[in-house]
Amino acid sequence: MPRILRIINRLNLGGPTFNAALLTKHLSPQFDTMLVAGMKEETEASSEFILNKLGLSPTYIPNMYRSLNPFKDLPAYKHIKKIIQDYKPDIVHTHAAKAGALGRLAAYECGVPVVVHTFHGHVFHSYFGPLKTRFYIEVERMLGRMSNRIVAISNEQKRELGETYNICNKDKIATIPLGFDLDKFQQDQINKRIDFRSQYQIADDEVAIGIVGRLVSVKNHELFLQSLKQVLNNSTQKVRAFIVGDGEERSHIEQIARNLNINFATAENATSQKAPLTFTSWITDIDQVYAGIDIVALSSLNEGTPVSLIEAQAANRPIVSTNVGGVSDVVIENQTALLSPSQNVEQFAANLMRLAEDKNLRNRMGENGYDFVQQRFSYQRLVNDMSKLYHDLLWEASPAYRETWKPQAQTQVQLRPNVAPARTQTIINTAPQILPNVAAAYSTSKLYK
């Protein structure tokens, strides 16, 4: 049985954890998988409950955090090398930036036959200035040469990686969208709606708008709040908004609300204080949230595959979103979602207002969602797609494997040679020296999604 070492940045709430956990669980018994994870930040909610429900026990890398750190990254790199040497995987598959950097360096140096990396997002725009952005692009190009395949989670992301930023030849990139267990968003919706709206004192005639995700700058909650202010001032309906999640920008977002004179409640007093805006912090039973709200919003500057929009459609909720990154790949514009350009407050507010004012429109747009996402983003489809990719790569990489497996269709991508190009090999050989230097230069950065 082929062995897969799956390495993920950290087990925080979000698409990468669901993706890694579901693959680890459901690729068995075709593959034996070891799941390895770094450590989440203090402001992030843990997603360990997802693994617990699936009966998975990950191995942790205590020194692997999303931030670059000269005193943690090198020990984490050595720890991963030791795991590879002991486990002897046929495939190392890394997820997101930090795991992708340390994991691919270690896998290439250890001679792992197949190396795969999934971009769950990227930091090539809307995060940093031009010099730092250029640095990360060059690092990813170098890592791309160490990879047998790059996995993009949307067609738009594939275009950006292969054409806009030239991370690698586009023929080396496979598009495999994320997959989820979506059935729970259809189950017992009435009782879940009653529970959520009762907990937060939402009256039957109030329209609840929710935005779900990490409170970080790239999510651009300022646009959401500016638009919400216009809706609160002009709507004929009773409107309340809920910011579900937490993160390093929490205090800043609260200050924006104060500056806009939007009264708000927090998780500590939300059940006793009614306000136009509520910060709920993280909510584990996210299906209850979608059952309870009427409109789902997303105001991001950049997105890979926005999980909240997939979940919203699975719960038959209409969407208002900025049209950035992979958003257009996961919704049907004007059928399940109203989209507007990034940073366009007037259009975003108009779309929110349109849905808040028209219950029939909300219902029509919502009913289109479940069938659309179930066909495209079920975990069964994810597992099938990834299984085929693994088998094809192993077939190409190992003559012995060809005797036991015949791929459904051979890929056209040429694998990397056994000997790395001179520049890449130099970086590999000096990895223990360069990692601390890179980390020292960017030790205050918070890069990784």
pLDDT digits (tens, 9 = 90+) for 367-395: 989 999 998 999 999 999 999 999 999 99
**Which residue ranges in the chain fall short of pLDDT 70?**
43, 122-128, 402-449
CB contact at 8 A, 126 and 218: yes
Go through the chain and tell me how many residues it has: 449
pLDDT at 442 (0 to 100):
35
Q: Give the H/E segment covering residue 243.
A: strand 238-244
CB contact at 8 A, 365 and 192: no
Strand-pairing partners, residue 175, are: 152
pTM of the model: 0.78
Mean pLDDT estimate for the chain: 88
In this structure, CATH architecture of domain 183-377: 3-Layer(aba) Sandwich (3.40)
The alpha-carbon radius of gyration of the chain (Å, integer) is: 22
Closest of 244, 249, 248 to residue 211, by C-alpha:
244
Query: What dotted CATH number matches 3-180+378-441?
Result: 3.40.50.2000
| Model confidence pLDDT, tens digit, residues 119-163 | 987 666 655 677 888 888 999 999 999 999 999 988 888 999 999
pLDDT at 104 (0 to 100):
97
pLDDT at 127 (0 to 100):
58
pLDDT at 432 (0 to 100):
47
The residue to which tokens 């267990």 are assigned? 181
Start and end residues for every CATH 3.40.50.2000 domain found in the chain = 3-180+378-441, 183-377
